[in-house]
Structure 1
Amino acid sequence: MVPRIPVSVDLVVLTVRCQALSALVWRRDKPPYEGRWALSGGFIQLDEDLPAAAARVLAERAGLPGAPVHLEQLQTYGYPDRDPRQRVLSVAYLGLAPDLPASTEAHMSWQPVSSLQEMAFDHRRIMVDGIERARGKLEYTPLGAAFCPPEFTVADLRRVYEIVWGRALDPRNFHRKVTKAEGFLVPTGRTTTRDGGRPAKLYRRGPALLLHPPMLRSLKE
């Protein structure tokens, strides 16, 4: 008889919160890995496909129903010893969003990714893979704007890149690159003085799917 292997969905939900790249996690209160942080997840139901399962886990387990979270499939994890209780396959999803409110689930909380060194199961590995995916996508796609509100300044966007990449960027060079990238930013015709000083132009995300030219981390400013 061929054994049936359970399949779960685990979410790496990232946001820029309090000037830090943060992940939505919960602290386990029972074995295995009691006391360690874990990603939100759940088993796939028989009547749903993977995207539907990820959306359900986001709403019900992560406690973010209706949140404007960009979800995309990250990777499948299936090595035999990833769960000491039984063989489980996990399809991980990456979720990106601007500064989100606290979860509606009391056990979930936002934690800076730099503080999540010890996690349950293989969740640290999954989270690190999700962070690297997010960093890479900021190079070639306009996904950096997914961390921003609907209208934002170039300085807002630069802070996102600095926080996600973990490095300081030259403001003038960054402004030149993002405003010259075709279809990345669309001026709204409005300005804001919320950061003080001179009024700053407000932009919204444009229609581009890929950045041309790309915003490469390896290039010197």
Structure 2
Amino acid sequence: MDNTDRASVGLAVSTVIFALRSDDRFGAEGAVPTLWLPLVRRIREPFEGRWALPGGPLGASEGLADAARRTLGDTTGLAPRYLEQLYAFGDLDRSPASRVVSIVYWALVGSDEAARATVGQNVRWFAADELPALAFDHNLIVEYALWRLRNKMEYSRIAHALLGETFTLAQLREVHEAVRGKRLDPANFRRAMESSDSLVDTGERLTGTPHRPPKLYRYDDSVDLADNGPLPRS
């Protein structure tokens, strides 16, 4: 590749951001939550009118994670506490206009924060498993992000990002069921969680319930949500 070819390569940042949503709203009482994500309608070519992930070109003087946070804030108003780099997508034909390499992040937000997101004609929430045909290769990107999230649910404390600071075991099980797409046996799940080192019993109970108030737990906050390995925190 000569210098002219290298100069034509653009660098962009996009973000897949997941939240739990019950049917057509967040936190619906008694409804089964599922994974949803916000998409942005493109207002210019290529793919004008198609839905796409929030994102944009990388600024000359900003870091990758900073660009992800900026574009998320500009389009959706969201500022997730969990933001982790997912993958780099750079196939030659992913953009019909020019060569573009996208550094993709993924993020998780709780239902309360998601309900405050900016929505409108050009920003809308979609069920993660029922997406339309998206711009570029964004369907593939979402599919990969779902695969990564579902795998990490098996061994990490990533569910914390979809919950409040404290939660019941039933609420935690709902998150696991929504992400993994299957029902889990309550008794087996309780035993597995209570025997793990990741949860801390707060000594408090959930109030306002018609039956015996369930215990409230929190995650051990000595371990970071994002799995950055030896890399510095962004």
Fold shared by both chains (TM-score > 0.5): yes
- Structure 1 portions without partners, runs of 5+: 211-221
Partner of 1:214: none
Does the C-alpha gap of structure 1 residues 53 and 30 become closer, same or farther in structure 2, counting only changes over 3 Å? closer
Is 1:171 the counterpart of 2:186 in the alignment?
yes
Alpha-carbon deviations, 1:8-61, whole Å to 9, x = none? 001000011111100111233444334432100011111011111112112123
Contact 1:63/1:104 (CA < 8 Å) preserved in 2?
Answer: yes
**Could you say which residue in structure 1 is the equivalent of 2:143?**
128
Q: 2:91 aligns with which of 58, 71, 79?
A: 79
Q: CA deviation at 1:195?
A: 5.2
**One-letter amino acid matched to 1:21:** L
Name the % identity.
Answer: 38
- Name which of 104, 116, 141 aligns with 1:92: 104
Distance 1:11 1:195, change over 3 A: farther
Distance 1:86 1:148 in 2: 40
Segments ≥4 residues shifted beyond 6 Å:
none
Distance in structure 1 (CA, Å) of the matches to 2:209 and 2:17: 28
| Contact 2:75–2:118, Cα closer than 8 Å, also in 1 | no
TM-score (norm 1): 0.87
Whether 1:15 aligns to 2:15 is no
For the 8 Å contact 1:11–1:92, the answer to whether it is kept is: yes
Q: How many residue pairs align between the two structures?
A: 207
Alignment of 1:161 with 2:173, yes or no, is no
Quote the Cα distance in structure 2 between the aligned partners of 1:143 and 1:102.
21
Provide the rounded CA distance (Å) in 2 between the counterparts of 1:9 and 1:28: 15
Offset of 1:102 from its aligned partner?
4.0
**8 Å contact kept, 1:102–1:110:** no
Tell me, in whole angstroms, the C-alpha distance in 1 between the residues paired with 2:73 and 2:134: 22
Q: Is the 8 A contact 2:205 2:213 kept in 1?
A: yes
TM-score by length of 2: 0.82
| CA-based RMSD | 1.8
The residue number in structure 1 matching 2:63 is 49
Q: Which runs of 5+ in 2 are unaligned?
A: 23-32, 225-234
Pick aligned residue for 2:50 from 15, 18, 36: 36
Contact 2:159 2:172 in 1 (8 A): yes
Does structure 2 retain, via aligned residues, the 8 Å contact 1:44–1:50? yes
CA deviation profile, 1:174-195 (whole Å, cap 9, x unmatched): 011111111x111122111455
Aligned partners of 1:93, 1:195: CA distance in 2, in Å?
38
